[in-house]
Chain A
Amino acid sequence: MSAVMITRKVTRKWEKLPGKNTFCCDGRVMMARQKGVFYLTLFLIVGTCSLFFAFECPYLAVHLSPAIPVFAVLLFVFVVAMLLRTSFSDPGVLPRALPEEANFIEMEIEAANGNVMAGQRPPPRIKNVQINNQIVKLKYCYTCKIFRPPRASHCSICDNCVDRFDHHCPWVGNCVGKRNYRYFYLFTLSLSLLTIYIFAFNIVHVVLRSVDSGFMNTLKETPGTVLEVLVCFFTLWSVVGLTGFHTYLISLNQTTNEDIKGSWSGKNRVQNPYSHKNFIKNCCEVLCGPTYPSVLDRRGVMLEDSTRPTPSDASAASTYKSTNPVSQTTKSSAPLIPNEHTPEEAKPSIGAGTQKSTSSPKEEKPPSPTSPNAVAPAVIKESAH
């Protein structure tokens, strides 16, 4: 071994993750790409509360009770904490299938579909599973190359499949999914309370002060009041409405995505197989359920030379390590573990080059010459979104 210390920059896995997320703090923070509206949300909350603390609280603390600003501070801290937690956490992103898994699924699909005549379109990639005695269709995701688990959906803004996908919220700057739905709900709930609180005490303050000094003088003394009332008035309708909507969804154990698509509504359609048919049980499952771990492993270290452009050879030597699993991602265009497959194996050539933006790798597959032509447009079409 060389005595010279080779300083290599540690590459963490988040740097190589596919998808359109931005990462901060060396992978600890995960958000969507467009963060403008999130900054607006933060500004509105912090700005309005600052005005409240500056103008109303001194008067109210003296004339009514010091508990009023104290409670306002607690509520404000809770709101901001929930907002940050929702925005910065992994919503439940499902990692993309590694090439071998993708091939395995492809083979299963072809075995299930049988022979497709030349010129005919292959049947859509759907798997039927029975969940609690209801038939649910699982769709195949062409980008992530997996059959999406039930309730998962692909977010086109973040370009990830998210488990229990609710919706992509621009106000929060992130998707809302299995892992951060409860924080999102608590955020909307606490923000509703905060808005109502500030609105109510603004009115109380104006009334109390007007009794002493007159209405116009009050507005001159505390100009912030007008601004606060305006912001709170418009926020109230939207946020309280949203909280009510999500309370309804939680009581039925549905996601916004399912509600919009009408998955469980209508007589001929399937009833919601995930609902416990009990309002309390549904609420408890969503709000007090277990805290699911992130399966993305953003901060894991990728064992590769920083000088090598593709991680193929280095990752081949580290296939089984407890701290660092296989680091091949779909972005790598190098062949997969070339040294380890026996020469007769046709599979590695299929696994090579599974970039979604390149031409279809399926052309190399020997057994069914008709399917690549049908699959290739589907693959390229999916990558165009």
Chain B
Amino acid sequence: MASLHYYELMTETSLHSSINFHNLQELRHSASLANKVFIQRDYTDGTVCKFQTKFPSELDSRIERTLFEDTVKTLNNYYAEAEKIGGQSYLEGCLACLTVYLIFLCIETRYEKVLKKISRYIQEQNEKVYAPRGLLITDPIERGMRVIEISVYEDRGSSGSSSGSSTTSSSGR
């Protein structure tokens, strides 16, 4: 099992119906971290949480542009849903104020619910799309909602590849 190339391991485990967490751990153990790419925030609409959909050049050879853009756009939609100022947020605010904010000891805020959805989505994307390509997305909340950190992994077997920001010479494919 340890001698299996990690890409083969990814495709093999992803075919199984029960996708568990351990295939990502295998990614960590059999591959080495080559680089990290940071997707910055997009402030053109104000201070709402939104990330730039501009495709970074370092990922050019690793993942298709449309997949990446889909991921970022879905995340942006989730955050927009969490921060939407409308009827539900007013209701939540007024109810909380009337109960001196003690109600938050019992119920979850809408933002927290959406954050859980985001975390599940990122884990699913990592398992299905990014880990097979040797990439890993870190949930933005772990980086202060400032960046989406994408870790680029390289197979340990091809350690002779050139360093620097581009990791194109991976022989694993």
Chain A residues packing against B (C-beta within 8 Å):
77-78, 81-82, 85, 94-95, 97-98, 100-101, 104-105, 129-132, 136, 138, 146, 149-151, 164, 182-183, 186, 273-274, 284-285, 287-293, 295, 297, 319-320, 322, 325-326, 337, 340-346
CB distance from A25 to the nearest CB of B (A): 14
Q: Contacts A104-B38, A345-B163 hold; do A340 and B44 have CB atoms under 8 A apart?
A: no
Stretch at the interface among B5-13, B27-35, B62-70: B27-35
- A-side contacts of B83, CB under 8 Å: 289-290
Q: Are A150 and B43 in contact (CB under 8 A)?
A: yes
CA distance A305 to B132 in the complex (A): 32
Of chain A, the residue at the smallest CB distance from B102 is A81
> Which of B24, B111, B147, B161 has a CB less than 8 Å from the CB of A101?
B147
Q: With A319-B28, A342-B163 given, is the CB distance from A325 to B46 under 8 Å?
A: no
B109 and A290 form a contact (CB under 8 A): yes
Closest Cβ of chain A to B156, distance in Å, is 9
CB distance from A13 to the nearest CB of B (A): 11
- Give the size of the chain B interface in residues (CB under 8 angstroms): 55
Q: How far is the CB of B114 from chain A (nearest CB, A)?
A: 9
Contact of A293 among B93, B115, B151 (CB under 8 A): B115
* Known contacts A132-B46, A287-B93; is-contact A337 B123 (Cβ 8 Å): no
Residues of B within 8 Å of A284, CB to CB, are 85, 90
Partner of A289 from B89, B100, B136 at Cβ < 8 Å: B89
Contact A131 B36 (CB under 8 A): no
Task: Check if B94 is an interface residue, CB within 8 A of chain A.
Answer: yes
Residue positions of B touching A, CB distance < 8 A? 21, 24-25, 28, 32-34, 36-38, 41, 43-47, 82-85, 89-90, 92-94, 96-97, 100-102, 104, 109-112, 115, 119, 123, 136, 138-139, 141-147, 149, 151, 154, 159, 161-163
Cα distance A94–B142 when bound, in Å?
11
Report chain B residues within 8 Å CB of A322: 21, 119, 123
**Smallest CB separation, B76 vs chain A (Å):** 16
Interface of B is mostly: mixed
**Pick from B43, B93, B100: contact of A78, CB under 8 Å:** B100
Quick check: B85 and A285 within 8 Å, CB to CB? Answer: yes
Contact B144 A320 (CB under 8 A): no
B94 & A149 in contact (Cβ 8 Å cutoff): no
- The chain A residue sitting closest to B109, CB to CB, is A291
**Distance of A374 from chain B, by nearest CB (Å):** 24
- What is the CB-to-nearest-CB distance from B113 to chain A, in angstroms, rounded to a whole number? 11
A138 to B38, CA, bound (A): 18
Do A100 and B36 have beta carbons less than 8 Å apart?
Answer: yes
Do A342 and B154 have beta carbons less than 8 Å apart? yes
CB contact under 8 A between A149 and B43, given known A295-B145, A340-B32: yes
A101 touches B85 (CB 8 A): no
Separation of A292 and B115 alpha carbons in the complex (Å): 11
Q: Which residues of chain B are near A81, meaning CB under 8 Å?
A: 100-102
Q: Are B141 and A129 in contact (CB under 8 A)?
A: no
Q: How far is the CB of A17 from chain B (nearest CB, A)?
A: 12
Beyond A284-B90, A289-B85, A326-B142, 16 additional pairs, beta carbon < 8 A: A100-B38, A101-B38, A104-B38, A129-B44, A131-B43, A131-B44, A149-B47, A149-B146, A288-B85, A289-B93, A290-B82, A291-B96, A293-B109, A319-B28, A325-B142, A341-B34
B146 pairs with A344, CB closer than 8 A: no
Which A residue sits closest to B21, measured CB to CB?
A: A322
| A324 CB to nearest chain B CB (Å) | 9
Report the separation of the CA atoms of residues A166 and B62 in the bound assembly, to the nearest whole angstrom. Answer: 43
Q: Within the assembled complex, what's the spacing in Å between the Cα atoms of A273 and B123?
A: 35
B100 CB to closest chain A CB, in angstroms?
Answer: 4
B104 cross-chain contacts in A, Cβ below 8 A:
291
